[in-house]
Structure 1
Amino acid sequence: MPSQIHTTEAGFELTEDQNCMSELVKLCTDRPELVLFSRPRDYYWEDVSAGEFLAEVYALAKGLVANGVEPGDRVALLSNTRYEWQLVDFAIWAAGAVTVPIYPSSSPHQIEWILEDSGATFAFVEDAHNFADLRAFLLREDGTPPLSGSASRLRRVAVFNEGGIDEVTREGEGVEQSLIDARVAAITHADIASIVYTSGTTGRPKGVALSHGNWMYQTRALVTNPIGAVARPGKRVVTFLPLAHVLQRAVAVALTIHGATQAHWADTSTIALELQRAKPHVVLGVPRVFEKVRNAAYNKAADGSGVGKRVFLEAERAAIAYSKALDKEEGPSFALRMAHRVYDRLVYRKLRDAVGGVAQYGITGGSAMSPELSHFFRGLGLPVYEGYGLTETAAAACVNHKGGQRIGTVGRPVNSYEVRTNDNGEIEFRGPGVFGFYWNNPEATAEAKHDGWFNTGDLGEVDSDGYVRITGRKKDLIVTAGGKNVSPGPLEEIIRQDPLISNALVVGDGKPFVGLLVTLDADELSRWKEARGIPASTSLEELAHNADLRAEVQDTVNLANATVSHAEAIKKFRILNRDLSEQDDEMTPTLKVKRNVVFRRFADDIEALYSR
């Protein structure tokens, strides 16, 4: 029998005429002076008021109408995170159409599939490179596809960096505002707002049809918790994760329609500088972002001196102990409180300053965050609230927050969502924020949904208070030759905490024991070589057999092994000759490893683990 059903609150009711576009109109009409965005313009940042943003949305929507976009038509959007992304998204909704986001990192094959499966008739792209990816699918002037056998319906592509938005806007100057008003008023909760193609780690992407009702319930749930404290006028947020990702987009929409100020930044290599400039009140990132913040602070301390390194590690231990003590009735001891004050001046304050100095908290999702890392951030005064959800749940289905955090879990269901586990121990969700169907794929819909419940495919537990703990992905389960079931996720999370290690993949399906593939962090490896007098030119192939390096990796593997039984422990590891990358299609845009791709490409390395 399925487990008991858990829900956080009774939920809330929304009227049929409430949708994200109508909520934007209401906000911008009531408070036109609010600053909704700060966007780069030449060499400075320019504020965009609510009134100005709505006027741009309306003008662009008129251009779409002038180009023949009808209610229900699909419009593709391929771009890095930037102001124009959100402008176009709302304009598509104002025209009554459906947004089809595409990751800029998508391969030509993925783009072809999304365009053809969605039936997109119009597309916005960022630059000439993106346009080249779509050119092959543009219909000829006679309406026939450019490729033999292509199912493309794409009529036009507008390019941001070549004045595409201004051009489309000019073309709509003759369209009456009353037509746009009528289209917005006609939107119902059942109407499809977006088809979001899963960036999953296996198989062909499925188009998740998310309705206006799904988006509205999701944004309302997010504002109830966890972003209610910052989804309001006067609060600042830097939006830097890919807006094609459902969580970043849901948060961005929620922030917009509730009056917070957003700045967009797509270059994650320089995000630290932008966070210090913009001083956001919340930081939304995947676990890897927070790992990099911690590791950058550690590396800076370690580069300074051996004393600095020791101080940082002691401060880290104190922060973790302090956080864990917060969960106990007696709280932190006097000695721990005193140590915490000292380390706050020496270490913690600098870490908070690294993300702008005013952030109240962080939010993470997309993959699991190490409990130790969560305790570290909470202990230093910047709690990071972990949540969980999928494209099919329109982003967050459960989340920790200020009013209820249990580290090691992904929180309780967000408002209006329900959770349970089925007979196989898989997590299932139900509620008005859960998607209705997969686009053009009734078989997949029938497989994933039963009696209104969506089966996530993730294994987990729901405790008596409704907190959800993810224990593994069913498809990732490893079954050794001896019949032992091993969930790789928990082991990999622990190993990735070592600054020297970039990625860790547990292997062993059908094999006699559990093995591990490891990639190393380039910056930390350079420091490691310098500290030992090893020439910088020494290759990874040479270092892979270095006894000192292998001993350090083995120490981290031992820490992970201490958390599992002997049969589940990692017996051997292999250091790969390069790191994994999104550009090589080995990781998703949210930095999840595509296990099937990596296992195929490094098949020889896997076999080498078991060859002797």
Structure 2
Amino acid sequence: MQTFRTSAPPVAPPLTGGLADSVFDAASRAPGLPLIARRTDTDTWTRVSAIELRDEVVALAKGFVASGIQPGNRVAIMARTRYEWTVLSVALWAVGAEVVPIYPTSSRDQVQWILSDANCAGVVVEDEQGAMTVGSVCDGLPGLRHVWQLDDGSLEQLVERGSSVPEPTIDSLRRIVLPDSTAVIAYTSGTTGRPKGCALSHRGLASPCDTLLAGWRHTTAPQGVQPAVLAFLPFSHVYGLMIQGLCLRGGMLMAHEPDLREETLGADFLSFRPTFLYGVPSVFEKIYKNFLRRAQESGRGALFERAVRTAQDYALAVERHRLDRGNGPGFDLRLQHAFYEKTVYRRLRASLGGRVCGAVSGGSPLNRDLALFYSGIGILVHDGYGLTETCGGITAQPVGRMKFGTVGRPLPGVDLRVADDGEILVSGPSVFQGYINDELGTRTVLRDGWLATGDIGRVDSEGYLSITGRKKEIIVTSGGKSVAPAPLEELLRVHPLIHQAVVVGDNRPCVGALITLDPDFVQHWRRALFDQGDASGPGAREENALQQEVQRAVAAANSTVSRSESIRVFRILPEPFDVANGLLTPSMKLRRDAITRRYEVEIDAMYQSSRAARRSLSAIDESMSWDDADDVFRRVR
């Protein structure tokens, strides 16, 4: 196996203490530097300086000491992404405690498992609902001594309780925290079983942040402007923790937004005006679909589509030039791009606050055409790769050498291999310490200093990594064909009408898909359809038109794979997969096993209908096989 590594940009200086030191160091170095923006009303943000943040951290840390929280104790935080999350986590790290993030949407059983498995001494919940969930499992948690509730004044009481603790006590505790001390017990998403607690050290969490800051920070804002980041991804996930770490360690202005509704985030973009975005592919897909929907509603749909094609063509020409494969955009293309810059692109950027100069997409690969679109309108979206067991990012796009459709190259200090079966193996300072209470699981994934990620990928001749799926998610049809579902699902989601897609086909004669629709775009699409004035029955007409649109999306996805890997049958489901119905993890990953169990009847019916259609055609042409019946299968619903 060949080992891939990157020599540039420069590696950050080694960590000498714990994660809390970044706040204390900033307060000493630049006490007036604003680190946090807190919303005071709908459109107004109040800035919290480094010295103010440090003082709040110290006051809470003293309260934890007064409550008996000691170095090595574990305290869970079960809350959405909000200001208190940051203050709490830094305060706990300052006294040497370990943070255990729990998604506030977690079920009673999940909360009980995590609090028990991690042996938490305390838990911070957001509201009464969270307190009731924890209260219902307390009898089985003899080690749990404290439950603090954010919206009932518990933090104020905690500060008051610690008022008699001398401040030097906190300094003494903070200074004995070592880089290799455990900082976080982050639980995996649990897509195929009970979540596992990953022990992440202060060094591990700081390493990717410091490396990215050393080589990429200058891309997050124009020269002379403090970078501003709107944190809306959950801090209960390692990606969210990484965003927090980047902001605190890099002196970026960070705002918190716990409400992920479209209208709330849209207002935040306009009022906070971030310079850089951190998101997941679904966020960038949704923003694009909103651009398209608004353009169509205003009668500028055709103009927008031409502008999209020009943006993608322009970005493709620029990419070829920076990779030494072409001369860059020609005169005509530059002229078209300049026209759309004045009429379309700057308006799109203005809807995001007008200051966004770049972004990072993580969690799963970003569609290449979508990345080209954003680059073409002036927002370069870097795609990266990481997982809980690596404390976040382990690859990134090299500055000035970005290659869309890949997740970049290994970060400096990270070694990467691809095993013979395609599994990605990594080694480096951010690899986790192991699963708590699970030595066998740890030995299974940590082999001779290499972490077996469970992801399947390939590295091209220039060292760029592409992710093709998860090893445990590979589908094997009854004909023996192995298919990675993720790339097909990604292509389907790009279509404006499609919200989610799950590819199925294990032990089936062909590949199929379960599809859910985007309710906002469906509503817009339905209005546009009926505005055409067709007098025929709306039910059948809408059904046929919708089927044809989804068929086009399936055909587009199929055009990228071989015939035997293509989607030959699909079913449109009446409701989305979400956390509430147990079909998504709290980190928004598909629970594939739960989905196939829930829709077992629909999947069976989908294939049975296809077989009946095939038999009907075979009666006409006895030579017809599954491969010949594509059109029949696509019509099944």
Q: 1:9-28 counterparts in 2 under 5 A?
A: 9=8, 12=11, 14-15=13-14, 17-28=16-27
SS state at 2:26 partner: helix
Indicate the residue corresponding to 1:588 in structure 2: 585
1: CA distance, partners of 2:551 / 2:41: 50
2: CA distance, partners of 1:363 / 1:543: 42
Change (3 A) 1:152 1:389: farther
CA contact (8 A) 1:11 1:416 kept: no
Indicate the residue corresponding to 2:485 in structure 1: 488
Indicate the residue corresponding to 2:275 in structure 1: 281
TM-score normalised by L of structure 1: 0.94
Give the counterpart letter for 1:23 in structure 2.
Answer: S
2: CA distance, partners of 1:405 / 1:545: 42
1: CA distance, partners of 2:358 / 2:165: 44
Give the counterpart letter for 1:299 in structure 2.
Answer: R
Q: 1:112-123 counterparts in 2 under 5 A?
A: 112-123=112-123
CA contact (8 A) 1:8 1:466 kept: no
SS state at 1:195 partner: strand
SS state at 2:530 partner: coil
Indicate the residue corresponding to 2:454 in structure 1: 457
Percent of pairs identical after alignment? 38
Say whether residues 1:335 and 2:325 are aligned partners: no
List runs of 5+ in structure 1 lacking aligned partners: 139-145, 536-540
Indicate the residue corresponding to 1:259 in structure 2: 251
Say whether residues 1:477 and 2:474 are aligned partners: yes
CA contact (8 A) 1:385 1:401 kept: no
1: CA distance, partners of 2:104 / 2:343: 41
Indicate the residue corresponding to 1:39 in structure 2: 38
CA contact (8 A) 2:62 2:165 kept: yes
Give the counterpart letter for 1:607 in structure 2.
Answer: D
Give the counterpart letter for 2:89 in structure 1.
Answer: D
Indicate the residue corresponding to 1:410 in structure 2: 407
Tell me which of 343, 348, 356 is aligned to 1:346. Answer: 343
Say whether residues 1:202 and 2:192 are aligned partners: yes
SS state at 1:327 partner: helix
2: CA distance, partners of 1:544 / 1:519: 19
CA contact (8 A) 2:22 2:248 kept: no
Indicate the residue corresponding to 1:317 in structure 2: 309
Change (3 A) 1:586 1:475: same
- The one-character-per-residue Cα deviations of 1:190-248 (angstroms, maximum 9, x if unpaired) are 21001000114221100000011111212212212444544897221111111111112
What's the offset of the Cα at 1:570? 1.0
- The one-character-per-residue Cα deviations of 1:49-103 (angstroms, maximum 9, x if unpaired) are 1101101101101100111111000000011111100000000001110000111
Greater shift, 2-11 or 51-60, is seen at 2-11
Tell me which of 176, 187, 207 is aligned to 1:217. Answer: 207
Change (3 A) 1:16 1:382: closer
CA contact (8 A) 2:310 2:336 kept: yes
2: CA distance, partners of 1:524 / 1:572: 23
CA contact (8 A) 2:18 2:93 kept: no
Tell me which of 160, 175, 179 is aligned to 2:169. Answer: 179
SS state at 2:20 partner: helix
What's the offset of the Cα at 1:473? 1.2
Greater shift, 551-560 or 14-23, is seen at 14-23
Change (3 A) 1:242 1:227: farther
CA contact (8 A) 2:9 2:214 kept: no
Tell me which of 414, 419, 423 is aligned to 2:420. Answer: 423
Indicate the residue corresponding to 2:240 in structure 1: 248
SS state at 1:610 partner: helix
2: CA distance, partners of 1:518 / 1:440: 38
SS state at 2:383 partner: strand
Indicate the residue corresponding to 1:141 in structure 2: none
1: CA distance, partners of 2:486 / 2:88: 37
Tell me which of 158, 162, 172 is aligned to 2:148. Answer: 158
Change (3 A) 1:257 1:13: closer
Q: What is the count of residue pairs matched by the alignment?
A: 594
What's the offset of the Cα at 1:564? 1.0
Indicate the residue corresponding to 2:594 in structure 1: 597
1: CA distance, partners of 2:45 / 2:306: 40
2: CA distance, partners of 1:580 / 1:165: 36
1: CA distance, partners of 2:285 / 2:232: 16
What's the offset of the Cα at 1:112? 0.6
CA contact (8 A) 2:26 2:50 kept: yes
Say whether residues 1:299 and 2:293 are aligned partners: yes
Indicate the residue corresponding to 1:268 in structure 2: 260
Give the counterpart letter for 1:211 in structure 2.
Answer: S
1: CA distance, partners of 2:332 / 2:225: 40
Greater shift, 355-364 or 464-473, is seen at 464-473
Indicate the residue corresponding to 1:3 in structure 2: 2
Change (3 A) 1:242 1:346: same
2: CA distance, partners of 1:601 / 1:398: 36
2: CA distance, partners of 1:237 / 1:10: 22
Indicate the residue corresponding to 2:92 in structure 1: 92
Change (3 A) 1:345 1:75: same
2: CA distance, partners of 1:192 / 1:302: 51
2: CA distance, partners of 1:527 / 1:42: 31
- The one-character-per-residue Cα deviations of 1:522-564 (angstroms, maximum 9, x if unpaired) are 11111222223399xxxxx977992221111111111111111
Tell me which of 511, 514, 520 is aligned to 2:511. Answer: 514
Give the counterpart letter for 2:351 in structure 1.
Answer: A
Tell me which of 508, 518, 524 is aligned to 1:527. Answer: 524
Give the counterpart letter for 2:75 in structure 1.
Answer: V
Tell me which of 180, 191, 213 is aligned to 1:190. Answer: 180
What's the offset of the Cα at 1:321? 0.7
2: CA distance, partners of 1:275 / 1:70: 40
CA contact (8 A) 1:316 1:376 kept: yes
1: CA distance, partners of 2:594 / 2:603: 13
CA contact (8 A) 1:515 1:570 kept: yes
- The one-character-per-residue Cα deviations of 1:567-592 (angstroms, maximum 9, x if unpaired) are 11111111111122222222234432
RMSD over aligned CA atoms reads 2.0
Give the counterpart letter for 1:327 in structure 2.
Answer: E
Change (3 A) 1:550 1:98: same
SS state at 1:579 partner: coil
Change (3 A) 1:320 1:233: closer
1: CA distance, partners of 2:516 / 2:392: 30
Change (3 A) 1:408 1:152: farther
Give the counterpart letter for 1:293 in structure 2.
Answer: I
Give the counterpart letter for 2:345 in structure 1.
Answer: Y
Change (3 A) 1:135 1:300: same
2: CA distance, partners of 1:257 / 1:4: 30
Tell me which of 142, 145, 157 is aligned to 1:167. Answer: 157
Greater shift, 62-71 or 22-31, is seen at 22-31
Indicate the residue corresponding to 2:362 in structure 1: 365
Change (3 A) 1:11 1:235: closer
SS state at 1:315 partner: helix
Change (3 A) 1:235 1:511: same
2: CA distance, partners of 1:552 / 1:284: 31
CA contact (8 A) 2:205 2:392 kept: no
Give the counterpart letter for 2:467 in structure 1.
Answer: I
Indicate the residue corresponding to 2:631 in structure 1: none
Give the counterpart letter for 2:372 in structure 1.
Answer: H
TM-score normalised by L of structure 2: 0.90
Give the counterpart letter for 1:169 in structure 2.
Answer: V
Say whether residues 1:381 and 2:373 are aligned partners: no
CA contact (8 A) 2:229 2:274 kept: yes
Give the counterpart letter for 2:487 in structure 1.
Answer: P
What's the offset of the Cα at 1:39? 0.8
SS state at 2:429 partner: coil
List runs of 5+ in structure 2 lacking aligned partners: 321-325, 533-537, 610-637
Give the counterpart letter for 1:41 in structure 2.
Answer: T
Give the counterpart letter for 2:490 in structure 1.
Answer: E
Greater shift, 446-455 or 400-409, is seen at 400-409
Indicate the residue corresponding to 2:125 in structure 1: 125
Greater shift, 65-74 or 126-135, is seen at 126-135
